[in-house]
Structure 1
Amino acid sequence: MRKITKAILVSALASAWLAGCGGGGDGDSGRTATEGRPSAASEPQIDSPAPKVETPPANLRYSTNISTFAVGRAISPTTPDSQGGAITHYSVSPALPDGLTLNSETGVISGTPTLKQERSYYTITGENGAGKTVTGIAISVVLAGEWFGASAMNIQRSAPGVAVLPGGQIVVAGGTDTGGNALPSAEVFDSPTGKWIYTGTMNTPRSKLAVTVLADGRVVAAGGRSQTNFLSSAEIYDPKTSRWSLTGNMSQARVSPAMVLLADGKVLVTGGSTFGSIASSEIFDPSSGRWVDAGQMNTPRERPTLIRLPNGKVLVAGGDSNFSVSASTEVFDPAIGTWTPTGTMNTARDQFAAVALRDGRVLVAGGWDAAAIASAEIYDPSSGKWSSAGQMNVARVGASAVLLASGKVLISGGSGVSPLSSAEIYDPATGKWSLAKDMNNGRIFHGSTVLDDGGVMVFGGANTPTSERWFE
């Protein structure tokens, strides 16, 4: 028998311990290379990012697809909009009019046209790596100071209500047709398409009505005449739905009243006539649909002119007062609800043109008092006085006035003996009148406004449904 020594016993114990620990020799004896380590399944997995998929662009469009620009006048940059994926490159075919460019990265059209051009059509393409989208636009380039034809209204209207909406839309409602019948129809000039289109029909046929745009973009129409009926009813047009809805009635019927939006969003209506000129006035609250008394003017007036002044007060001037043309003017203060006489005009006038100037003064021009009037004058709210603004080159009743971007005033049409095609410009800086080029059509009791492109639009009148444009 082998004798177990102390050294042998220590060696045996050491070997047993190493075997139990998986050791021995180089420490890997009897085990695979992966034993004693975490399995692959137990290790956290990191997913590879999925390849990014680019989305093609869609529905490329511009705010207006029919544009008119003037030679030598820088245009307001026209910016595109689209859906889907971001557009990385824009192109246009054929090339834009001389002086205009398309930014290939942003799609913005900008520049200053240099040559007159008839309406031409252009295809604009927006694309990225996944696809493309296409839209079409039309551009005309005209000479500044020249009149050119625009889309005609659908029907000739005498004494309609007119309201100019934000965004270049014009609403024309009611009036009488060529047979003298009061109309319930309304139409809208859509600036992006350049066309007049019928819109919702009023609940009541009416002419010689008052119309104004509310603070929320809707339009209120009140009063007027429907054949032999004098109207106290009112209704509201919503351009979002193209519908008219009845609202509260005024306290009395009014034919040819005047209406203006107040600074607090309420509406003042005053004057008019039934069996005589009216002195009373009322205020409409769009939030409740109700009318409340706003006191009596000092002078009853039919066809007065209302202008809201910079201080929130309202100037009323002229008009017919029981078959006598008035030179008196007065101011309404909404804060206290009172009418106060102010300076008297130098000339009594009815059916004249009026416009608020940039400096807060008010220009009135032309009108009627036994004959058409050529004189003009300016009201200064700070002094309450009227001063001469010279003589127009042509006497005009039923003309239309519009404030231009330059601060000058364009007066168009009206009548001396027959509807006038002439137009003229007043410069407040010099106090001088100068003739502009004649319109293509004579017109009286028509509308005029400046559209978003900076050009003037004149439309309709008692004698024509036509429209035309003009750039300063």
Structure 2
Amino acid sequence: MRSLYPASLPASHRTFFLLLALLFTCLLSACNDDDAPQPPAGLTYGMTSAIYQVGTAIVANRPTASGGAIDRYAVSPALPAGLSLDAATGVISGTPTAASASTVYTVMAQNAAGTATARVQIEVRGAAAAPAALTYRETTVTYTVGAAIPANAPTSSGGPITTYAIAPALPAGLTLDAQTGIISGTPTAAAPATTYTVTGTNVAGTVTVTLRITVQLAVAAPASLSYATANALYVTTEPITPNTPVSTGGPIASFTVSPALPAGLSLNANTGAITGTPAARQPSATYTIVGSNAAGSAQAQLQIGVTARGSFSTATPPAPMPLPVHYFAATRLPNGIVLVTGGFSAGGITNSAWLYDPNANAWSPAASMTTPRNGHTATLLSDGRVLVAGGQIATSTETATAEIFDPLANTWTPVASMSETRENHTATLLGNGKVLVAGGFDLSGAHTFRAGMELFDPVTATWTQMTHPLSTPRGQHAAALLPDGNVLMVGGVNSSGFVTSAERVAIDDSGTTVQPAPISGNVTMGTVLNDGTILATSDRSNNAYRYDPATATWTASTMLATRAIPTITTLADGRVLVAGGTISGGVRTNTTEIYNPDTNTWTAGASMTDGRGAAQAVVLADGSVLIMGGFSGSGEVSSVERYTP
């Protein structure tokens, strides 16, 4: 290799030349970075939703984009028969030859630096459809004499518009393209604020939109900027409906956004439209859009989050349960294996226990419990053992017995019994390693609902009854460990009906604090979120409620369905998966939905193969969720499904 400096130079001079060469290399690299191609951005179409007619040539649907020059276009899935996408220009044209259902098509604009995507929804009918909607990028705008305006292009839906007209005539120097509807030109004289009506027509009907246009002598800054959707929650892999800006004051010449939009989304620097297909899930965040011209700028803030529907394994589904059951318990052990205990099977209440290994996708029998039981609790102790307590051992016969499973020895050891028989109670592992058991009921005789609480100490294997019971007896309630180490009991049922209160249980046995709760139902289910708040719901409505321990307040959200005994699971990423359950008409559904805590909204998730209620769900070590067993309405469900968020 040739030297960068003469060998005869002194060492100090050689050092100088070496540094000079390194500086030159860095500057050259920086210049090359500045010249690097930019990916396309802000791809959108003039008609984002169109209804075409068989046998009638469509009005060419043309794209707009900013960013780097586009090398090629592609679309997925294939367009309806007779229509085509020009790979070089992105124009959609042609004559439909057959009817087709309304379908969302994803158009991809690509160059060497990246890809932008846009959503186009197309339906082909046998008869012509009238235009359904017409709007413009700028509906209230101020232009300046002598300054060419940014082309103001329309978007429409329904049947394609074949001709455009405007009344009254535009200000001098501006024109409306009768075929495309684009308003362009350079104003030549001032004009007062005037309302103009643009009419879009095809053979089936018309649609109108009003614009407010002012022409002034001096450049004016934009006065305001807002977006059609200020708080958006998108779904990965699904192209978004373009989010377009609305501004007043001087026309906006360029748009910028900070920070960068979620991967797969982009901002059109000329029109301000946000388009694309989100590539990855991310929590809701604030984005600032700035619209500028030579005289100034205006800005808008958007909240954008991206969720995902997830998927269930279909190519290699988990092995089915050797003994299908419902009303059982499932516990993930420290080694990642899942322990299933008891439950109600076709043969009645069982004492069987099974181990599922996710890595081997195989079940193996564990030692049987000493007592058959369903409606019991199974609590993973701090030392890796599992405490099983209470439950029903025969029809209308509850038990106070408890036993501990040792995974290393594969043995069950009976321990001291609780002071009361109970099923459908709660068991909460406390920060000190003890377990708090509360409530439940006994169906023998008068159907007694329990208010008593007791603590299990794994060190001594004994129970201590709490001096202060619950203020209200309750069973089928939810319990959650609070950030301060105490426990919240929510909802449930007792002999008086649905329990519409919550109470904080002080683990130092100083009593409970009662407060109203919006929950009302036969069975209350809850889960602790990553921020320490608690999400709870019941089988009486599609409302869910989030409890903030810091303020002792509840925030409501609306689920997609009312579900009885679904599974409710906090995912590793902080969202909540609710799966299955019984919906209207007594149907055990296979649907799921996802709670997004950053937006307090629900999104449909991927569907299971089988409908089920009274199943169990466990988060595995890799963040996936194992959903198993349950009841279908006619019998126990043997299948096991694995959900990947």
Question: How far apart are residue 298 of structure 1 and its match?
Answer: 0.6
Matched, 1:359 2:531: yes
Q: Given residue 176 of structure 1, which amino acid in structure 2 is its aligned partner?
A: F
Asked if the contact 1:185–1:201 (Cα under 8 Å) also holds between the matched residues in 2, the reply is: yes
In 2, the alpha carbon distance for the partners of 1:431 and 1:377 equals 10
Aligned to 1:347: 519
Asked if the contact 1:259–1:270 (Cα under 8 Å) also holds between the matched residues in 2, the reply is: yes
Matched, 1:443 2:612: yes
Question: How far apart are residue 264 of structure 1 and its match?
Answer: 0.4
In 1, the alpha carbon distance for the partners of 2:600 and 2:361 equals 35
Aligned to 1:386: 554
In 1, the alpha carbon distance for the partners of 2:490 and 2:524 equals 10
Question: How far apart are residue 337 of structure 1 and its match?
Answer: 4.2
Question: How far apart are residue 425 of structure 1 and its match?
Answer: 0.8
In 1, the alpha carbon distance for the partners of 2:552 and 2:457 equals 29
Matched, 1:249 2:423: no
In 2, the alpha carbon distance for the partners of 1:144 and 1:240 equals 37
Which structure 2 residues correspond to residues 53-452 of structure 1 after superposition, within 5 A?
145-148=310-313, 149-179=317-347, 181-228=348-395, 229-274=397-442, 275-294=447-466, 295-322=468-495, 324-342=497-515, 344-365=516-537, 367-369=538-540, 373-388=541-556, 390-416=557-583, 417-452=586-621
In 2, the alpha carbon distance for the partners of 1:375 and 1:240 equals 43
Asked if the contact 1:352–1:399 (Cα under 8 Å) also holds between the matched residues in 2, the reply is: no
| CA 1:157–1:212: 2 relative to 1, 3 Å | same
Question: How far apart are residue 186 of structure 1 and its match?
Answer: 0.7
In 1, the alpha carbon distance for the partners of 2:564 and 2:309 equals 27
Asked if the contact 2:309–2:603 (Cα under 8 Å) also holds between the matched residues in 1, the reply is: no
In 2, the alpha carbon distance for the partners of 1:301 and 1:352 equals 11
In 2, the alpha carbon distance for the partners of 1:309 and 1:450 equals 20
Asked if the contact 2:332–2:620 (Cα under 8 Å) also holds between the matched residues in 1, the reply is: no
Q: Given residue 533 of structure 2, which amino acid in structure 1 is its aligned partner?
A: R
Asked if the contact 2:455–2:465 (Cα under 8 Å) also holds between the matched residues in 1, the reply is: yes
Q: Given residue 535 of structure 2, which amino acid in structure 1 is its aligned partner?
A: L
Deviations 1:382-418 (A, max 9, x none): 1112121x21111101011111222111111111121
Question: How far apart are residue 321 of structure 1 and its match?
Answer: 1.2
Q: Given residue 281 of structure 1, which amino acid in structure 2 is its aligned partner?
A: M
In 2, the alpha carbon distance for the partners of 1:192 and 1:210 equals 26
Question: How far apart are residue 323 of structure 1 and its match?
Answer: 5.3
| CA 1:454–1:255: 2 relative to 1, 3 Å | closer
| CA 1:224–1:423: 2 relative to 1, 3 Å | same
Deviations 1:446-470 (A, max 9, x none): 1112211221211111331211112
In 2, the alpha carbon distance for the partners of 1:253 and 1:353 equals 22
Q: Given residue 194 of structure 1, which amino acid in structure 2 is its aligned partner?
A: N
In 2, the alpha carbon distance for the partners of 1:176 and 1:470 equals 24
Matched, 1:466 2:466: no
* Secondary structure at 2:448 match in 1: coil
Report how many aligned residue pairs link the two structures: 326
Asked if the contact 2:309–2:594 (Cα under 8 Å) also holds between the matched residues in 1, the reply is: no
Question: How far apart are residue 306 of structure 1 and its match?
Answer: 1.1
Question: How far apart are residue 351 of structure 1 and its match?
Answer: 2.1
Q: Given residue 431 of structure 1, which amino acid in structure 2 is its aligned partner?
A: N
Question: How far apart are residue 144 of structure 1 and its match?
Answer: 7.8
Which runs of structure 1 show a deviation greater than 3 angstroms over 4 or more consecutive aligned residues? Answer: none
Which structure 2 residues correspond to residues 7-86 of structure 1 after superposition, within 5 A?
none
Q: Given residue 198 of structure 1, which amino acid in structure 2 is its aligned partner?
A: P
Q: Given residue 372 of structure 2, which amino acid in structure 1 is its aligned partner?
A: P
TM-score of the superposition, structure 1-length normalised? 0.66
Question: How far apart are residue 194 of structure 1 and its match?
Answer: 1.9
Q: Given residue 529 of structure 2, which amino acid in structure 1 is its aligned partner?
A: L
Aligned to 2:9: none
In 2, the alpha carbon distance for the partners of 1:448 and 1:406 equals 16
Question: How far apart are residue 347 of structure 1 and its match?
Answer: 3.2
If asked which structure has higher relative contact order (CA below 8 Å, sep 6+), I would say: 1
Asked if the contact 1:144–1:471 (Cα under 8 Å) also holds between the matched residues in 2, the reply is: no
In 2, the alpha carbon distance for the partners of 1:312 and 1:196 equals 36
In 2, the alpha carbon distance for the partners of 1:278 and 1:307 equals 18
Q: Given residue 311 of structure 1, which amino acid in structure 2 is its aligned partner?
A: D
Asked if the contact 1:415–1:444 (Cα under 8 Å) also holds between the matched residues in 2, the reply is: yes
Deviates more, 1:167-176 or 1:416-425: 167-176
In 1, the alpha carbon distance for the partners of 2:452 and 2:441 equals 10
In 2, the alpha carbon distance for the partners of 1:242 and 1:319 equals 35
Deviates more, 1:349-358 or 1:406-415: 349-358
Asked if the contact 2:349–2:373 (Cα under 8 Å) also holds between the matched residues in 1, the reply is: yes
In 2, the alpha carbon distance for the partners of 1:323 and 1:153 equals 38
Q: Given residue 289 of structure 1, which amino acid in structure 2 is its aligned partner?
A: A
In 2, the alpha carbon distance for the partners of 1:155 and 1:361 equals 36
Deviations 1:19-44 (A, max 9, x none): xxxxxxxxxxxxxxxxxxxxxxxxxx
| CA 1:306–1:355: 2 relative to 1, 3 Å | same
In 2, the alpha carbon distance for the partners of 1:404 and 1:169 equals 18
In 2, the alpha carbon distance for the partners of 1:157 and 1:398 equals 14
Question: How far apart are residue 157 of structure 1 and its match?
Answer: 1.1
Asked if the contact 2:329–2:616 (Cα under 8 Å) also holds between the matched residues in 1, the reply is: no
Q: Given residue 209 of structure 1, which amino acid in structure 2 is its aligned partner?
A: H
In 2, the alpha carbon distance for the partners of 1:400 and 1:450 equals 11
Which residue, out of 423, 444, 453, partners 2:622? 453
Question: How far apart are residue 205 of structure 1 and its match?
Answer: 0.9
* Secondary structure at 1:296 match in 2: coil
* Secondary structure at 2:403 match in 1: strand
Larger Rg: 1
Deviations 1:130-174 (A, max 9, x none): xxxxxxxxxxxxx98221221111111121122222232221111
In 2, the alpha carbon distance for the partners of 1:213 and 1:337 equals 26
Question: How far apart are residue 317 of structure 1 and its match?
Answer: 0.6
Aligned to 2:26: none
* Secondary structure at 2:418 match in 1: coil
Asked if the contact 2:309–2:606 (Cα under 8 Å) also holds between the matched residues in 1, the reply is: no
Asked if the contact 2:534–2:548 (Cα under 8 Å) also holds between the matched residues in 1, the reply is: yes
Q: Given residue 460 of structure 2, which amino acid in structure 1 is its aligned partner?
A: S
